[in-house]
Structure 1
Amino acid sequence: MIGDSERWARAALSRAIGSDRPAIGVEVSRRGAAAVWAGLRDRHPAVDPERDLRLLAALGGRFICPGDPEWPSSLDVFGRLPDGPDTEPGEPLGLWARGNGDLSQLCERAVAVVGSRAATGYGTTVAADLASGLADRGWTVVSGAAFGIDAAAHHGALAASGPTIAVLAGGVDVAYPRAHADLLARIRDNGLVISESAPGSPPYRGRFLTRNRIIAALTRGTVLVEAGHRSGALNTVRHARRFGRVVMAVPGPVTSATSVGCHRLLRTHREQAVLVTDAAEVCEEIGGIGELAEYPPADTGSRDGLPELVRRMLDVMPARRSVGAAVLAQRLGERPETVQALMGPLVVEGLVELRNDGYRLTALGRAPSAAGTSGRCEPAGRC
């Protein structure tokens, strides 16, 4: 645990500067928060970190700092990144949190589900189903509590009685959007609402982009469900790629403007972005050994399970006219008596019909094999 002076200094810097000055994190890592705040305190006389900490405590919250037991190890990724431009925000000074969950524990198996605010019915359904399935499998769903895909992801996790984390752009005591006040209350009961912005802070536009790096860093992977050409959710994906996290995208209709970002991601970053369609496929990408997606077996066809010779014979047998066993034997390169011996059981099974002038396929016999037979008669033109 860090000392009180360092905690107060981080809380003060969070109020006075926050992520609006990305280079502050570098200064804090070099000199310590207390020393940095000491040099800035006179410029911010109205900042009172003790008041902010008391306010949050009264709301049942806390301020989580690097070094605290609740600080998730996944955020260590910021310290492993190469030095970048001063405009790129780094590790949060701390995270203001409200809720019943333990941040470190919740992030041990966490996945981000993000996407467009102007989501379609298809997108919200997919996001909710994904989140519900992930919650059933023991994953924490992380998103931004915005309209559209974010809200659907939170609702899906809650519907499965799973934990979820909302990362806000404003203070954790500011319900934004206001229509999501009840949703945020449910998230606090079943997980956490967190922010790097001090209590009471409004959600300025720029803070939505800087908070996206936290969503990406907290999780093992990010799933993009619907994103337009300029969607802010693509910013979360960019951070996930920068952190070396798994990036996944759900495909949509090629005519849908809200899926353009997903399709572009899958095409332009095909070596990094993975196409997923359900929770099982997400788990296969980010889960442990053995968490593999199971696909339902293909529908069985009338020819499935038949010996190879029998399937070949059905392939070369005509359906509109009859043919004798000798002709079939010639086509197959087999002896006529071998072919004749196979005909009786096929007639009984209803795959072949016996006529006065030979044999031909029935409607059942014409059905293709689910295993993928050629479906092509040879020689050509004899079907």
Structure 2
Amino acid sequence: MGRPPDAARLSADQERRARAALTRLIEPGDPVIGRWLARMSAVALMGIISGRSDPAPIGPIDSRGARLSAYRARLPSVDPDADLDRVAVAGGRFIIPGDSEWPSQLNDLGEARPVGLWVRGTGSLRLLALRSVAVVGARACTAYGAHVAGEISAQLAERGWVIVSGAAYGIDAAAHRGALAGGGITIGVLACGVDVAYPSGNSQLIRNIAEQGVLLSELPPGEHPTRFRFVLRNRVIAALTRGTVVVEAAVRSGALSTARRARDLNRHTMGVAGPVTSELSAGVHALIRSGAATLVTDAAEIGELIGSMGEDLAPIGSGPVLPRDLLEPPAAQVLDAVPASADGSPVEGLARRTGLSTDEVLQRLYELSSLGHVERHGAHWRLVRRR
């Protein structure tokens, strides 16, 4: 016999509250917490951390109790009810594994899976992430990089793809703006609380993302970013999406960590080539050269890689159709044999070059003459000079 509905709801609320408390206690992606949560509920774990329960179940993982002591030292600053109220006032919510909105692909992170996500925005994160692609790159990007990121993101948005990035300066901001300009949806994965506008120069963009898309973070409201949190944030971007596109990245760029995580998670990793003289493209070129990323140039090629088989195909690239492309093979063969020199060549010489009979060569020459490709000068034929 199952639990009464009120008991089940109470249990779910307690688990949510316990996981909200954990986000205040730990740094994102803490593997020890991940291993503990694989063995027990967050409610049980918080009971051990707070000292209300016997710590024996976590003994083999934390034999000296060092981590447990560190978590207990942070307990006085933990108030999950205040955090849940604060995010609600900001128009957000806190989602956890098991919720209908939880993106199951985050489970691929294993022990580094988020214990929960603080979210702002009206769309369902799970549904939006089903057809999403990450566009990342250098903060100090070039005008070329910003243009390409914006164009690709707008094109992807027009094809129904959700753009995911980190709301930072440079390529991230260009990707978000491109998606919004294309009338699409974009997701910003933050390294701070969802109620914190960081960087401040992108505050209006971050507000726009919250209104027209989704903001999410592993960190509770009010938390500010650190260098390490930016790196940890990248694994969520990689896991959440079906593929990652790196537009510009130096050899030691943080964007490359997102690409590496995407590759490790068996997601598609793609790169956009840049000038060979640009240090900001050196990291992307190295990815492509090593085979760790696929070269892409537009949204169609990206969609073909990460989209539905047989449905998101890129058009076959081709140059403009020239008049000579429409010639029949014998006529094209004769045209290739006609010299461009002022002297030209007699019919017999063209017959020897092409292996065709003199009658057929003459016939083809008159066809080519009527099309404006060749001209006759006495007994010789030459190419028409274009002015």
* TM-score by shorter chain over 0.5: yes
- Cα distance, 1:20 vs. partner? 6.7
Unmatched 5+ residue regions in structure 2? 1-8, 52-71
- Cα distance, 1:212 vs. partner? 0.5
- Matching of residue 224 in structure 1 with residue 233 in structure 2: no
Match of 1:207 in 2: 229
**Counterpart-to-counterpart distance in 2, 1:334 and 1:277:** 44
**Counterpart-to-counterpart distance in 1, 2:281 and 2:365:** 53
Q: Which moved more, 1:170-179 or 1:300-309?
A: 300-309
Q: Deviations over 1:93-134 (max 9, x none)?
A: 000011121101110100000000000000000000111111
- Secondary structure of 2:345 counterpart: coil
**Counterpart-to-counterpart distance in 1, 2:297 and 2:255:** 18
- Matching of residue 27 in structure 1 with residue 36 in structure 2: yes
Match of 1:187 in 2: 209
- Matching of residue 90 in structure 1 with residue 112 in structure 2: yes
**Counterpart-to-counterpart distance in 1, 2:382 and 2:17:** 88
Give the partner amino acid of 2:331: V
**Counterpart-to-counterpart distance in 1, 2:354 and 2:27:** 78
Give the partner amino acid of 1:314: L
- Secondary structure of 1:31 counterpart: coil
Number of residue-to-residue matches in the alignment: 354
Give the partner amino acid of 1:254: V
Q: Is the 8 A contact 1:128 1:156 kept in 2?
A: yes
Match of 1:8 in 2: 17
Match of 2:311 in 1: 290
**Counterpart-to-counterpart distance in 1, 2:100 and 2:239:** 18
- Matching of residue 102 in structure 1 with residue 124 in structure 2: yes
Match of 2:150 in 1: 128
Identical-pair percentage = 49
Q: Which moved more, 1:69-78 or 1:243-252?
A: 69-78
- Cα distance, 1:180 vs. partner? 1.4
Q: Deviations over 1:123-163 (max 9, x none)?
A: 00000011111111111100000000000000001111211
**Counterpart-to-counterpart distance in 2, 1:234 and 1:28:** 30
- Secondary structure of 1:23 counterpart: helix
**Counterpart-to-counterpart distance in 1, 2:77 and 2:166:** 30
Alignment of 1:51-70 (within 5 A): 51-70=82-101
Pick from 289, 296, 308 the counterpart of residue 276 of structure 1.
296
- Secondary structure of 2:77 counterpart: coil
Match of 2:180 in 1: 158
Pick from 101, 115, 119 the counterpart of residue 137 of structure 2.
115
Q: Is the 8 A contact 1:126 1:225 kept in 2?
A: yes
- Cα distance, 1:300 vs. partner? 2.4
- Secondary structure of 1:3 counterpart: helix
Match of 2:107 in 1: 76
**Counterpart-to-counterpart distance in 1, 2:345 and 2:214:** 73
Q: Deviations over 1:280-301 (max 9, x none)?
A: 1110110112211124542222
**Counterpart-to-counterpart distance in 2, 1:26 and 1:361:** 77
- Compared CA separation, residues 306 and 54, structure 1 to 2 (3 A): same
Q: Is the 8 A contact 1:100 1:191 kept in 2?
A: yes
Q: Deviations over 1:232-286 (max 9, x none)?
A: 1111111101100000000000000111110111112x1x410011111110110
Match of 1:82 in 2: none
TM-score w.r.t. structure 2 length? 0.88
Q: Is the 8 A contact 2:123 2:213 kept in 1?
A: yes
**Counterpart-to-counterpart distance in 1, 2:296 and 2:257:** 19
Q: Which moved more, 1:127-136 or 1:336-345?
A: 336-345
Q: Is the 8 A contact 2:83 2:221 kept in 1?
A: yes
Q: Is the 8 A contact 2:188 2:215 kept in 1?
A: yes
- Cα distance, 1:324 vs. partner? 2.1
Alignment of 1:229-268 (within 5 A): 229-268=251-290
- Cα distance, 1:51 vs. partner? 1.3
Alignment of 1:367-382 (within 5 A): none
Unmatched 5+ residue regions in structure 1? 80-88, 368-383
- Secondary structure of 2:112 counterpart: coil
Q: Is the 8 A contact 2:330 2:364 kept in 1?
A: no
**Counterpart-to-counterpart distance in 1, 2:104 and 2:83:** 25
- Compared CA separation, residues 21 and 332, structure 1 to 2 (3 A): closer
**Counterpart-to-counterpart distance in 2, 1:153 and 1:322:** 56
Match of 1:304 in 2: 325
- Secondary structure of 2:126 counterpart: helix
Q: Deviations over 1:72-110 (max 9, x none)?
A: 12212124xxxxxxxxx6100000011121101110100
TM-score w.r.t. structure 1 length? 0.89
Match of 2:60 in 1: none
Q: Which moved more, 1:336-345 or 1:157-166?
A: 336-345
- Secondary structure of 2:324 counterpart: coil
Q: Is the 8 A contact 1:322 1:357 kept in 2?
A: no
**Counterpart-to-counterpart distance in 2, 1:363 and 1:195:** 66
**Counterpart-to-counterpart distance in 2, 1:319 and 1:105:** 63
Give the partner amino acid of 2:48: G
Q: Is the 8 A contact 2:29 2:113 kept in 1?
A: no
Give the partner amino acid of 1:201: E
Pick from 137, 142, 145 the counterpart of residue 159 of structure 2.
137
Give the partner amino acid of 1:3: A
- Secondary structure of 2:245 counterpart: strand
**Counterpart-to-counterpart distance in 2, 1:318 and 1:46:** 86
**Counterpart-to-counterpart distance in 2, 1:335 and 1:57:** 86
Give the partner amino acid of 1:74: Q
Give the partner amino acid of 2:313: L
Give the partner amino acid of 1:179: G
Match of 1:171 in 2: 193
